[in-house]
Chains A and B, each alone.
Chain A
């Protein structure tokens, strides 16, 4: 897949405060990258720089080969931006609102009308097309803002908390839409505090703290790196009479009983089938073998805490 977003040494300084500090990453076409980080970590500033809304103080970024500073207008055609707050014009009617933004993206009248209607239907807003946006609920406003960002069919979408303030059904509609967009080859950067959502949707996760990239990789990579080898749990129908070590000598057994074994392995693809084969040969009846769930939240908290600890250690070393 080709590289659609490229950021190299991206830095933004406001007066004396460095909001984004030498951020370097790439996002491939059709990929979803979740941008995680505490409040004030620099996620919004990063997205604003990538959307050509503000200019980097240092470094550069390209969207589909277009420089975010020198080709700013082209970049703003290429990207759709769901802002942190919906920021709608509440006295306007929904279709009129979308028509306004479509016109600013230079879409022909027919095209923008068709797309506006289709997208509103997709997000369950079809019946509210003629209503004023001031009459919309919080969730409807959020969906409307998403429709606005998608109206000109941008190749890249920056979504800042896309499902915040939504009820579970609406949130699912939006998540389905995001997955659908990825299926159609759109590239998405998802800024969110909703970690299960990030894990569900994102191909890769980037964690930033105080403007610096502290981790980047797939959810599994990050789990492996930060939480160690995955843990598996084996459950049997009857007690196993042999020694558990006889199954595989390279297992790191964490806990065991007559009917269960909990172990870690760095090579589950080879180790697990081998264990099952031996159990079968030994006549044991396997009830289940499953990986113990490890959430992205654990990874995230560990990362942020480690980074905070490192920072305070550096500060105390400096004081010495």
Chain B
């Protein structure tokens, strides 16, 4: 299988090397851009050293190294779209599909060909940038940071190429693929900004987590790519024009269930919603597990970082203090203690988490649920050293509205996870787009008919009942 993959890789790389539109920018980004960056770095260093800001050059060089490395690999996205969907558009893919090459070899061959040239250019760019710095100001980077940048660049290149394959498998034209590529470019832009902050902040350890996350994303995308880039899927798709009518009909079909029957609130609550919950038990299970892990991690963190007694002033609580707590500076992120504010805050948070879930295969939705649970675990674990019973603490602060809010949050997150993961592995006989639409329809159904009513009740309880219980237990 690998032999066939390498035959394809070799041909594709030769083909790329014959295309001046690919070669010219790569040469510029490999040789000219590092030289410009090198010059800029030296000017910046000379400037900031006049003000004894020596830390800035130390942080600037790894950042510049990352930029120099990233620019050439951005071409891997273009090459990937060209090699996967461009071939489909030019009808040169079918002769290849008629050969004994397996789908996986074909995929690997094209994946490697899209990656190797830009990656080689990227390493060369970083190398020439560092060589320039060494020759001019004798700068030698920390090898671990250098290694991290190289790893990051490689992982990012793989994410872009593997992502491009997933995008390509849903289109039949380069134009459509370019438009869909925003699903790759936007998260990559966010990632680069995050990495830049970390590099300037000097938090190099956190880069390992990003490398690990990218590695996981690579595996998921490659798995999805192997599943979607096969003869059957490629040739079954003849057109990819955005058909709003068909999309709407499909979406409506998913809303009204497989039978396409008329909407009935009774059958929704007695048949449809219970079926959806049954079918999504795995996603719900994963969400509950994440929630528990979040709480557990919060509690562990509390043991490592105990708060001083006055941080949780439970013994000074009265009704006014309780309300004022939410208007103090630093608590601006919390909603006012009334039903409407709490409800809209929770709805906003869960919708945002679902939206982020789409761009992250559902992972960000899980993280956004785990974070507040981590906070709850952290506070509950802080109660014990202060001589308070953690169970009573949870029963007072969380339980009254949590009975409604937690199931709502779990269900919203589980279906957001399902929505995000729908692109990875569509069931047989269904395209990723159809699976995405179905998951979206299911999320909307669960959100509107279960999550919103629960959140509404939870918000009322949180605004009117929870404070009374807290005051009853802890108040003066």
Residues of chain A at the chain B interface (Cβ within 8 Å): 14, 48, 51, 53-55, 73-74, 76-77, 79-81, 83-89, 91-92, 100-101, 103-106, 145, 148
In the complex, residue of chain A having the shortest beta-carbon distance to the beta carbon of B235: A54
Q: Which residues of B contact A (CB under 8 A)?
A: 4, 7-8, 11, 14-15, 18-19, 90-102, 231-232, 235-236
Inter-subunit contact A104/B94 (CB<8 Å): no
CB distance from A85 to the nearest CB of B (A): 4
Min distance, Cβ A61 to any Cβ of chain B, angstroms = 15
Q: Which residues of A contact B101 (CB under 8 A)?
A: 104
Most chain A CB inside 10 Å of its own CB: which residue of B94, B232, B235, B236: B94
The interface residues of chain B, by DSSP majority, are classed as helix
CA distance A139 to B95 in the complex (A): 18
On whether the beta carbons of B11 and A51 are closer than 8 Å, the reply is no
Distance between Cα atoms of A84 and B92 in the complex (Å): 11
In the complex the two chains form, what is the Cα distance from A145 to B232 in whole Å?
22
Residues of B within 8 A of A80 (CB): 98
Q: Are B102 and A73 in contact (CB under 8 A)?
A: yes
Q: For B17, give the chain A residue with the smallest CB separation.
A: A91
Q: Are A87 and B92 in touch, CB under 8 angstroms?
A: yes
The reply to whether B7 and A103 form a contact with Cβ atoms under 8 Å apart is yes
Which residue of B11, B93, B95 is within 8 Å of A81 (Cβ)? B95
CB-CB nearest in chain B for A158: B98
- Report which of A74, A87, A92, A100 forms a contact with B94, defined as CB distance below 8 A: A87
Q: Which of A51, A85, A103 contacts B98 (CB 8 A)?
A: A51
Q: Which residues of B contact A74 (CB under 8 A)?
A: 100
Which residues of chain A are near B92, meaning CB under 8 Å?
87-89
Chain B min CB distance to A204 (Å): 24
Taking A77-B100, A104-B101 as contacts, is the C-beta distance between A148 and B95 under 8 angstroms? Answer: yes
Q: Which residues of B are found within 8 Å of A88, using beta-carbon distances? A: 92
Query: Chain A residue with minimal CB distance to B109?
Result: A104
Question: Contact check: which of B15, B95, B231 meets A92 at CB < 8 Å?
Answer: B15
How many Å lie between the Cα of A48 and that of B235 in the bound state? 9
B94 engages A89 (CB within 8 Å)? no
A309 to chain B minimum Cβ distance, whole angstroms, is 29
| Closest-CB distance, A275 to chain B (whole angstroms) | 53
Instruction: Collect the chain A residues with CB atoms within 8 Å of residue B231's CB.
Output: 53-54
Q: What distance in Å separates the Cβ of A159 from its nearest Cβ neighbour in chain B?
A: 12
A145 is contacted by which of B4, B7, B95 (Cβ under 8 Å)? B95
Chain B nearest CB from A319 CB (Å) reads: 23
**How far does the alpha carbon of A7 sit from the alpha carbon of B99 in the complex, in Å?**
21
Say whether A91 contacts B19, CB under 8 Å.
yes
Q: Which of A14, A53, A84, A89 contacts B97 (CB 8 A)?
A: A53
Q: Do A76 and B100 form a contact, CB below 8 Å, given A55-B232, A87-B90?
A: yes
Closest chain B residue, CB of each to CB of A81? B98
- Supply 7 further A-B pairs (C-beta < 8 A) apart from A53-B231, A83-B98, A87-B94: A48-B235, A76-B100, A87-B92, A91-B15, A104-B100, A104-B101, A105-B99
B97 — which chain A residues lie within 8 A by C-beta? 53
Q: Which residue of B has the minimal Cβ distance to A77?
A: B100
**Which B residues lie within 8 Å of A87 (CB)?**
90-95
* Cα separation A106 to B14 with both chains bound (whole Å): 20
**Cβ–Cβ < 8 Å partners of A148 in chain B:** 95
B102 to chain A, nearest CB (A): 7
- Selected A-B contacts with CB under 8 Å, 12 pairs: A54-B231, A55-B232, A81-B95, A81-B98, A83-B95, A86-B91, A87-B91, A87-B92, A89-B92, A104-B4, A104-B8, A105-B100
Least CB separation from A55: chain B residue: B232
Residues of A within 8 A of B11 (CB): 89, 92, 100
Contact indicator B15/A53 (Cβ below 8 Å)? no
Contacts of B91 in A (CB 8 A): 83-87
Query: A53's contact among B18, B102, B235, by CB below 8 Å, is which?
Result: B235
